[in-house]
Chains A and B, each alone.
Chain A
Amino acid sequence: MYWQYVAGGYGFVAVGLALYTSWVLRQGRRLSRKLPPERRRFLD
């Protein structure tokens, strides 16, 4: 019972996460291509 609400909620969260994650990853690639490799390190 009430599966339509469950589907809506899980669907919204899945789509939201998918969109945001792909945006973040794509931004990361786009920006890092603009930089010379020696400036791409994060943890130092």
Chain B
Amino acid sequence: MSTTAAEPTGAEPGDKPLVASAVNPPHTGSVATRRLGVAAIVLLALTLLFGLVLSPPEVSQRDAVRLMYLHLPSIAVTYLAFLTTAVGSALYLRKGSVYWDLVAGAAAEIGVLFCSFVLVTGSLWGKPTWGVYWQWDARLTSTTVLFVMYLGYLAVRRLELPPEVRSRRAAVLGIVSFGNVIIVHYSVKWWRGLHQGQTFGADTKMDGLMLFTVFLGLMSFLVLAAWLLIHRFRVSWLAREVEQVGLAQALAERRAETDATGLVGRSR
């Protein structure tokens, strides 16, 4: 299996012989992201090596425990991403800087991606461990609600509204959603807690090598998520620039048009 998905270099240097594009190349890479990307690839490769080959199977879960090396780091990235969305939204509302709005949006998208990893690896782990793909387990249930909630957030970001209005609504939603995460989490936990004492999967026994692999997975996913966040942010930023350039052009064209017709009208 290949993880070169995280290929960090955009265009090879020399791809375009233009001098200007060597300074501002036509992609979202930079020296910093290239270094981050290399680090992510190395860490991901190490995670694969330790997760699939070097670490031992668990006593009761056997090899299914290997899913945890993706599952747990994905949870961490998901929550951090949604926290970033909330913080970015708050800063946007406070300072009105578009950058924070774009950061919030980029983080939410990455959060949703990793949340889908959490759900899929979680239920694939559940099948051999619990015997079923889906349990009305507190964490599983609340994570699913969380997933849908942020799909809604992304839908709001895609609304056809004036940019400032859309950003402001998204920011309010970004903050309130994180509060909801907490409410949903505790209410569902309480609901399940009343019916059965313990949540499942708490009895996993991890030895040193396994814990190290979890740590490795966490590091690699965090670096990867940071790399993705930067690139995604730059893409949003570019999209905004393109929109503005397009708007200015359309405006100029219309002005030229009205001028032309005006001249024609006068000449008659």
Chain B interface residues toward A at CB < 8 A = 1-3, 5-7, 10-11, 18, 20-21, 23-30, 48, 52, 57, 61-64, 66-67, 70-71, 74, 113, 116-117, 120-121, 124-125, 127-128, 224, 228, 231-232, 234-235, 237-239, 241-242, 245
Contacts and interface: CB of A to CB of B under 8 A. Distances in A.
Chief secondary structure at chain B's binding surface? helix
Interface in A10-36: 10-14, 16-18, 20-22, 24-25, 27-29, 31-36
Interface residues of A, number: 36
From B66, B228, B237, B245, residue with most partner A Cβ within 10 Å: B66
Given A22-B5, A31-B241, A37-B18, 8 more contacts: A3-B63, A5-B125, A6-B63, A10-B67, A14-B3, A20-B113, A28-B28, A42-B234
Interface of A: 1-3, 5-6, 8-14, 16-18, 20-22, 24-25, 27-29, 31-43
B26 A40 contact: yes
Contacts of B26: 29, 32-33, 37, 40
Contact of B242 (A9, A10, A24, A35): A35
A11 B74 CA distance: 14
B5 A17 contact: yes
